[in-house]
Amino acid sequence: MSHVRLLNVTKKFGDVSAVNSLNLEIGKGECFSMLGPSGCGKTTTLRMVAGFEDLSDGEIYVGDRLISSPKKNYYLPPERRNFGMVFQAFAIWPHLPVYENVAFPLRIRNLPAAEIEKRTKDALRSTNLLKVAADSPANLSGGGKQRVALARALAINPDVMLLDEPLSSLDPHLREEMRFEIKDLQRKYGFSIIYVTHDQSEAMALSDRILVMKAGVVQQVDTPLNVYNKPANKFVFSFIGLSNFLNIAWEDGRTFVSGENTLLPQSLMPPEDMRGSGALSLASRPSEIDFVSDDDGDGLRGVVSRKAFLGEFIDYQIKIGGQEVRVQKGRRALGPNLGETCCLRLLRPSWYAGE
């Protein structure tokens, strides 16, 4: 069942279309992430859901309840939406003890004292903060401060948790740990999550579905696996994970690497509807390319222009005419050496029209 629903949600700042006719349904208990380049409208979307930003057009519902609609001149203020929020900046008050930081939103909601104490302690317990409840948050580590922000959001027992790069100020190790903690808390409390991050592996690890956005426009909404394996367009292919694009020319019924005389091997024919005159782009992932022997003539020939050992794997740059393809193989795989000619087989090639 859909829980949060955005219908044609649009936000304009002057001439800038920050969010353009966004339609979304987020399920109850779902973890939903938004990914996209800087400035594509992620924070603006989250702020509209939270109620900090009004809409230029469209409507937002929680269940059957309308919460924002400029046309109907209706707007439910943030404190009545029952959403927990954690934003990138910790936004905690260093002059108040940890306990009061967490209790604060409950106090402004005028809940009975016993209820405030119960919920605050529950949230502190869930985030492992009970023993530092009387301390100033200023003395806590980055992860500790982040926990205070999370505990405060949890204390209101939110229907939806809105998280805007909540872990970006933590070091990689802590980030990974906190990401599992957030997931555990979600299981325990059952809230839905709308998560904004620049970190793709974070989005992949946490999310049931991912939205990829570009310049305020949705490109794809899908499971992490599908966004990676079946990108809806070239932008999504290039934005998610590592990617290679080779420019290919179609001439007289044959395909060439652009600027080269070499024919593409038979195994690399573009799909029927793309054959014709004009430029094509052949997409592949560095991890989905094999080195093959030269004998069967079915590989893409190139020269190793760079070879770097990156710990778990070896990173190759292969020059094909004037273009380059990146290949990554496990550190134990036997590959060609710098300056050697090699043959590549693309395991999952994708084709896009244009360069």
Ligand X SMILES: Nc1ncnc2c1ncn2[C@@H]1O[C@H](COP(=O)(O)OP(=O)(O)OP(=O)(O)O)[C@@H](O)[C@H]1O
Task: Tell whether residue 13 is a contact of ligand X (CB under 6 A).
Answer: yes
Angle separating helix axes 142-155 and 98-108, nearest 10 degrees: 30
What's the rounded Cα separation, in Å, for the pair 209 and 224? 6
Task: Tell whether residue 44 is a contact of Mg ion (CB under 5 A).
Answer: no
From the list 156, 159, 150, the residue with the least C-alpha distance to 179 is 150
Strand order in the sheet with 350-353: 254-257, 244-251, 278-284, 350-353
Smaller CB separation from ligand X, 9 or 129: 9
Q: How many residues bind ligand X (CB under 6 A)?
A: 11
Task: Tell whether residue 39 is a contact of ligand X (CB under 6 A).
Answer: yes
Task: Tell whether residue 15 is a contact of ligand X (CB under 6 A).
Answer: no
Least separation in angstroms between residue 38's CB and ligand X is: 3
- List Cβ neighbours of 139 (8 Å cut-off, separation of 6 or more): none
Q: How many residues bind Mg ion (CB under 5 A)?
A: 1
Task: Tell whether residue 41 is a contact of ligand X (CB under 6 A).
Answer: yes
Task: Tell whether residue 43 is a contact of Mg ion (CB under 5 A).
Answer: yes
Smaller CB separation from ligand X, 214 or 307: 214
Segment lying near ligand X (by CB under 6 A), choices 10-18, 79-87, 96-104, 335-343? 10-18
Query: Which class for 215: exposed (0-12), middle (13-18), buried (19 or more C-beta within 10 A)?
Result: middle
Task: Tell whether residue 258 is a contact of ligand X (CB under 6 A).
Answer: no
Least separation in angstroms between residue 232's CB and ligand X is: 19
- Spell out where 286-340 has E strands: 289-292, 300-309, 313-320, 323-330
Give DSSP secondary structure letters for 130-147. GGGTTS-GGGS-HHHHHH
Smaller CB separation from ligand X, 56 or 317: 56
Read off the DSSP letter of residue 161: E
Least separation in angstroms between residue 201's CB and ligand X is: 16
Smaller CB separation from ligand X, 102 or 194: 194
Task: Map the footprint of ligand X across residues 275-314, applying CB under 6 A.
Answer: none
Smaller CB separation from Mg ion, 43 or 200: 43
What's the rounded Cα separation, in Å, for the pair 97 and 134? 5
- List Cβ neighbours of 12 (8 Å cut-off, separation of 6 or more): 18, 56
Q: What is the binding site for ligand X (CB under 6 A)?
A: 13, 16, 18, 36, 38-44
Q: What is the binding site for Mg ion (CB under 5 A)?
A: 43
